[in-house]
Chains A and B, each alone.
Chain A
Amino acid sequence: MTQTPEQSVRKVSVQCTLNGQPTEFLAAPYLSLLEVLRETLGLTGTKEGCNDGNCGACTVNVDGRIVDSCLMLGAEAEGKTIETIEGVAPAGGLHPLQQAFLEEAALQCGICTPGFLVSAKALLEREPDADEPRIRLWLAGNLCRCTGYDKIIRAVEKARDEMK
């Protein structure tokens, strides 16, 4: 994700709400939101997997919808409300999804985990009764090469039941 040496275009100033905080940043207009989060803002919880919209590792929540942050420009964040994995846990604790992922061992290498958590949180906020097929379909845009998915699905179901 290195920038080209030719910086012929001017940086743009962007104001947004990031994990509940008013945030302003200056970034080259062609940088993805993922690059801005990780490199400009130092929020490295959001991971780069494929960088072309297949794997979902970079999933963030923008105005209530999950998006792949590699498929959105940082400049597009102007005026938006964004939540990353850093905004998922309440102060001093874990989100029920994070706790369930730990208890169900729903992760191994961990690269996909922030994306799964942000996606699953958006689902349970919209559909608190989501059943297993719905959870699997919703998470189809998040790939995991380690777990075989079953443990992730069980963790989401467990969090769903505990959040009721």
Chain B
Amino acid sequence: MHPYQYIPATNITEAVSLLARYGPRARVMAGGTDLLVQLRGERYELDAVVDAKAIPELMALTLAKDGALSIGAAVPCYQVYEDEAIVAAFPGIIDAASLIGGIQVQSRASLGGNLCNATPSADGICPLIVHSGVVTLTGVGGTRTMLVEEFTTGPGRNALAHGEMLVKIDLPKPAAHFGAAYQRFIPRNEMDIAVAGVASAVTLDASGQKIESARIALASVGPTPIFAKKASDFLAGQPATEETYAKAGEVASTEATPISDMRGTIEQRHHLVGVLTRRTLAQAVQRARGNS
């Protein structure tokens, strides 16, 4: 393994100037649960690893009084799922934060790192997409924002420019009658990579019987997590029934572009998208009805 420096940065300015100086020879480390494995496996070489865990903005986890949630890019998963107020307000995010790896990995792994690592099978990304999450990226030239679904650009690839880092992910306050859920299929009970995963979010009307709007996102069935726009658009105005969920699953399945690999076939993955869309919609609706 190529030897590298370990540099704990204490503020964003210091971190981005290091990234600008080292270029592609440096990367930001949050939990390191992907980065250190990739370095050891010699997937790439670095001269410097910039530790972000001493940067206050990247470790900030804030549920604002108005109900919006801000997740610093290096906040470990356990801090998210051990916060009772966040568990109550954002169960769709908790679904993912509590199933990434085992307890040891959750002690360090972050949703921001999951997003930057940008694997198509990432459990953390689809729930952020259906919550209409917005990422904040800061570089030496300034700060910009974009939707989570625009951030991943290919397997292991993201929209970060040279010298830029992910600072935080902001989720807007959930609307009244909003609910979200994430489920994945794996052949065992824990500690595995999704064959397919689906996150669904719905906003119901005041009666709780009609879907006003919905967002669906698909994991592990394309080169990036996929925002399923057609299925999401289809759901607007539909009754919140099993029949609707099944139809949405059929539409979502057409938006998946899976490959066959060691974990599953194209056919199985298309099928799983249908099943998981139906199940997560039912769960999201149930949660939305509890959110009056």
Contacts and interface: CB of A to CB of B under 8 A. Distances in A.
A76 B49 CA distance: 11
A16 interface: no
A76 B189 contact: no
Nearest to A60: B104
Nearest to B41: A52
Given A30-B1, A137-B190, A140-B189, A65 B78 contact: yes
A141 B103 contact: yes
Contacts, number: 88
Contacts of B107: 62, 65-67
Contact of B32 (A12, A29, A71, A138): A71
Nearest to B53: A76
B115 to A, nearest CB: 18
Interface stretch (A2-10, A88-96, A102-110, A150-158): A2-10
A8 B48 CA distance: 12
Interface in B30-74: 31-33, 36-37, 39-41, 49, 51, 53
Nearest to B190: A140
Contacts of A56: 102, 104
A6 B1 CA distance: 9
Given A30-B3, A30-B4, A51 B104 contact: no
Interface of B: 1-6, 8, 31-33, 36-37, 39-41, 49, 51, 53, 78, 101-105, 107-108, 189-191
28 contacts: A6-B2, A7-B3, A29-B6, A32-B36, A52-B41, A53-B101, A53-B104, A54-B191, A56-B104, A62-B107, A65-B78, A65-B107, A66-B104, A67-B104, A67-B107, A70-B36, A71-B32, A71-B104, A71-B105, A72-B32, A72-B108, A73-B6, A73-B36, A76-B8, A76-B53, A140-B103, A140-B189, A141-B105
